[in-house]
Structure 1
Amino acid sequence: MFRAPSTGQDATPPITVPITFLGNGAVLRREAAPTSHFRLLDVAVGGTATLSRLTIENGDVTEAGGGVLVQPGGTLRGTSVTVRGNTAGGDGGGIDDQGTVRLTDSRVRDNTAQAFGGGLAVEPGGTADLTGTTVDGNTAGSFAGGGVYNDGGSVTISRSTVAKNEVTAGDGGGLWNDAQMTVNDSTVEDNLARDHGGGVTNAGGGKATFNRSTIRNNRAGLQAGGVYNVNPGSVLVLNRSLITKNRSANAPGGVFNGAGSTVVNKHSVIQGNTPTNCSPSSVPGCVG
């Protein structure tokens, strides 16, 4: 348990060399009520933090990366890791990724960012690979990405679940992307956006590809409970995926495709969304 920072807003000095944490169920925790702000881990250039069976909990910073900050040139590798209950005044309530993050069989839950990316924020040039991982119960307070926010990075999500995340004033309750995002064999469900894209927002010329994945039971306060695909050059690829039972206050409830953006539908099903599936926008293979 940490009660005060080592330096700046870090509990320990930044990691600049390879280091392995064999947690065996241990918890790295910021004491519940200290007056100082700090995160639990900071991985700097040249550093590689390899974590297993470890929980990172209750970090609280005024800047980015409430639980973990991965700087450019840093790498975080986690297996059976839980990042929970952390808070950032900037991006990345759980993790702010400016370098490389790989999580396997892990969980990012109940984190809060006052800005973007309640669970995980991937910044320009960052890469993230989530496999067998659950991102749930996270909140972004400003504009984008309750669960995962990708701004100029590259994200791959495989055999994972993104659920019950929320953006309280903006778009992309579950996922927000403006660069490269690929989702394989995964589920995006029960997320909430106060504005657009309860499940997913793909914007700013980004490309989001969903392979054999399900987007269901998400809600938006304005449009597109399921997926909001907007801005010229944005491309949404739906490959053998299912978008269903999503809802929004205004049509469409399923998938919205804006002017200058493109949806490629490869044998996917868009049905059972409220108040409409895609109308009044135009989405190939979508009726109603």
Structure 2
Amino acid sequence: MRYTTLSGIAALATIVVNGVGAVPAVAGGSGIPVACDTTALTTAIATAPTGSTLVLARHCTYHLTSAYAGQDGLPPVDRQLTIEGQDATIVRDGATAAAFRIFHVTATGDLRLDCVTVRGGNAVDDGGGILVDSSGKLQLNKVTLDNNHANNNGGGVNVKPGATAYITRSEFTFNNAGNTGGGLQSDGTVTTDGVEFDRNLARSFGGAIDHDAGDSVHRNTTLKNNATGTEGGAIDIDGGTVQFIDSKIINNTTTGSDGGGIWNGASLTLTRTEVSGNVAGDANGAGGGIWNTGTLVLRDSSVERNSANGGGSSQGGGIYSAGGAVTLDHSRVNYNASTTAPGGVYTGTQFTVNQSEIRHNIPTNCDGSPVIVTGCVG
């Protein structure tokens, strides 16, 4: 068996972690223990043979005070590596440290993180907490991305085109991006299940998630209380395909013009998903719940209690469709509001409607829209 490491050492060499010898992890083994010491963590990541499992000290906080190299706080992961966090925290000490991200997964890397918090990363470009290069692989389970920042894209995590990320039972909180994707820049193949994005911020697009390429499936995922300055308070979609299944997109905000909850310019399908309490707050805001110019399909889903409440000609508190194709299948667009009519649905093209309803919106359901959706009254 051939092993590849960052430093090129032989795989069968003993790894010394904080002065204690440890043999490489083997199938069925318990992994390589890493003492509660930052140097020990850096050494372990740099020298662990491919396929190793590092076991962090339980509840330890590993403080990064300087970059390992360039913008990377820890050695880049260029091979398969698992880190069992045991509720440890890896944090950049923001008061004294220069700007650097925490983890960097290269094109040949395959990083698996479990039960760990990644906090305080600060990238001068992309991926404040974690950057995944094209062809790289990332798995997160019970991981918290908290208070990370990227000057450009992906405050918490940036998944480049061609990369893969599988994220389960994790949280993205208080991350921010100077441009897009406050929590996650999702441009590869991304799957989430049981993930919560809460109080993330992007100055331009996608407070929680910005998706420009690739295919994403989000199950049992909640995007709440996120914000952006331009479009897509929760998510901005410019390319590829996105699905939300059994999910919630609630109480997100854009202070810009379009899409308090969702801005869709590609292909989006919502299945058994709630879009509620979102706000487009600009004076000429549109689409409190959803702004669409792509392909939008709602199945057994609801768009309710959203608003476009700016002081000017804000319209389409529920859905504002500027083009593309929209299908409502056993879905509801109810109790939404806007400053000017219609409060429910504004569209220039007819929707495909199957046993769905548009009711109780103010000031009107559809009146004032260039095209009245089939079956919509008032």
Using structure 1 for the length normalisation, give the TM-score. Answer: 0.94
2:172 equivalent to 1:105: no
Shift of 1:200: 0.5
Separation in structure 2 between the aligned mates of residue 139 and residue 114 of structure 1, nearest angstrom = 9
Separation in structure 1 between the aligned mates of residue 123 and residue 94 of structure 2, nearest angstrom = 13
Shift of 1:30: 0.2
2:117 equivalent to 1:55: yes
Shift of 1:35: 4.3
2:266 equivalent to 1:199: no
Aligned to 1:188: 249
Separation in structure 2 between the aligned mates of residue 34 and residue 150 of structure 1, nearest angstrom = 33
Separation in structure 2 between the aligned mates of residue 7 and residue 18 of structure 1, nearest angstrom = 20
Q: Percent identity?
A: 29
Aligned to 2:66: 4
Shift of 1:152: 1.3
Superposition pairs for residues 254-269 of structure 1, below 5 Å?
Answer: 254-259=318-323, 261-269=324-332
SS at match of 1:33: coil
Separation in structure 2 between the aligned mates of residue 60 and residue 207 of structure 1, nearest angstrom = 32
Aligned to 1:134: 196
Unaligned runs of 5+ in 1: none
Separation in structure 2 between the aligned mates of residue 114 and residue 25 of structure 1, nearest angstrom = 29
Aligned to 2:277: 217
Separation in structure 2 between the aligned mates of residue 41 and residue 17 of structure 1, nearest angstrom = 13
1:71 to 126, 130, 133: 133
Show CA shifts across 1:27-61 (max 9, x none).
01001212411111000011111111000000011
The aligned amino acid for 1:31 is D
Superposition misfits of 4+ residues, deviation over 4 angstroms: 280-285
Separation in structure 1 between the aligned mates of residue 260 and residue 200 of structure 2, nearest angstrom = 13
Equivalent pair of 1:157/1:184 in contact (CA under 8 Å): yes
Separation in structure 2 between the aligned mates of residue 164 and residue 156 of structure 1, nearest angstrom = 21
Return the structure number with greater strand share: 1
Instruction: Give the aligned CA root-mean-square deviation in angstroms.
Output: 1.2
Superposition pairs for residues 143-154 of structure 1, below 5 Å?
Answer: 144-154=205-215
Unaligned runs of 5+ in 2: 1-62, 360-364, 366-378
Show CA shifts across 1:154-202 (max 9, x none).
111101110000002x110001112210000000000001221111110
Larger CA Rg, structure 1 vs 2: 2
Using structure 2 for the length normalisation, give the TM-score. Answer: 0.72
SS at match of 1:145: coil
2:227 equivalent to 1:163: no
Superposition pairs for residues 80-99 of structure 1, below 5 Å?
Answer: 80-98=142-160, 99=163
Equivalent pair of 2:320/2:345 in contact (CA under 8 Å): yes
2:346 to 257, 279, 284: 279
Separation in structure 1 between the aligned mates of residue 114 and residue 306 of structure 2, nearest angstrom = 36
Aligned to 1:23: 85
SS at match of 1:19: strand
Say how many residue pairs are matched: 278
Show CA shifts across 1:4-48 (max 9, x none).
001110012211111111000000100121241111100001111
Equivalent pair of 1:209/1:237 in contact (CA under 8 Å): yes
